[in-house]
Structure 1
Amino acid sequence: MRELTLKKAGAWLFASGLMLSVTACSSWIYRIDVPQGNFLEQKDIDKLRIQMSKEQVQYVLGNPVAENSFEDNTWHYFYALKGGRGDNFEKQLVLNFQNGKLVKMTGDFDTPKEFNVPLDQ
């Protein structure tokens, strides 16, 4: 009977050690980065000018992630990166149009130096 108890204890210790070693190795598991949205760089934003048409903006930046359903004069560009190691990164850009022309930009990017100079000047 004592041998049976020792065998159970040994099996339990072995299983416990195995579980601990498996959970300790979970930090070695590769986790992929998950990007979502439009990746924009400041060099792309620097091409924006006031009075650009929607088509011109779309040519420079691509399609927006979301357009306002109730007012089609607001475009949202958003980028999020969920890092596999827990480091997250987010940037957004909101463009406002009036009569089909760009009038304002807000968000996490610097406003271009020449933003207030229309292209046709």
Structure 2
Amino acid sequence: MKAVIKTLCLVVGILSLGACSSWIYRIDIPQGNFLEQKDVDKLRVAMTKEQVTYVLGSPVASNAFDNDTWHYFYALKGGRGNNFEKQLIVEFKDDKLQDIKGDFDKSAEFSTPLDI
């Protein structure tokens, strides 16, 4: 009988240790386009869609009804609860880069086209 109680206590103890979430490894889950400010700084007004795709990659979301607005979004769900999100909205007019908005700064050279 004592062996059964000891075994039962051992099993309960091991199972309770498994419930300690601080000991469990949880992975980080990244989603979307990871962009850095140095990449956004390469953008210039009047760039073509192809040039923007070359610099930033393909957008995460595109609108079937408005092909002139591209959304770049990055989210990191940290395993320890530290979440991170950034977005960039790229607007075109007549298939040329018009403006950018979001969590990144425009470079000082953004308003200067590459052709000049």
- The TM-score, its normalising length taken from structure 1, stands at 0.84
Distance in 2 (alpha carbons) for counterparts of 1:31 and 1:17: 22
Structure 2 equivalent of residue 118 of structure 1: 113
**Candidates 59, 67, 70, aligned match of 2:54:** 59
Distance in 1 (alpha carbons) for counterparts of 2:18 and 2:57: 45
Residue identity opposite 1:114 in structure 2: E
**Per-residue deviation at 1:16?**
4.9
Count of residue correspondences:
115
Residue identity opposite 2:91 in structure 1: N
Of all paired residues, the percent bearing the same amino acid is 61
1:23 counterpart = 2:19:
yes
1:44 counterpart = 2:39:
yes
Unmatched segments (≥5 aa) in structure 2: none
Give deviations 1:37-62, integer Å, cap 9, x for gaps.
10000000000000000001011111
Distance in 1 (alpha carbons) for counterparts of 2:37 and 2:3: 66
Larger helix percent: 1
- The TM-score, its normalising length taken from structure 2, stands at 0.88
Question: Secondary structure at the residue paired with 2:85?
Answer: strand
Unmatched segments (≥5 aa) in structure 1: none
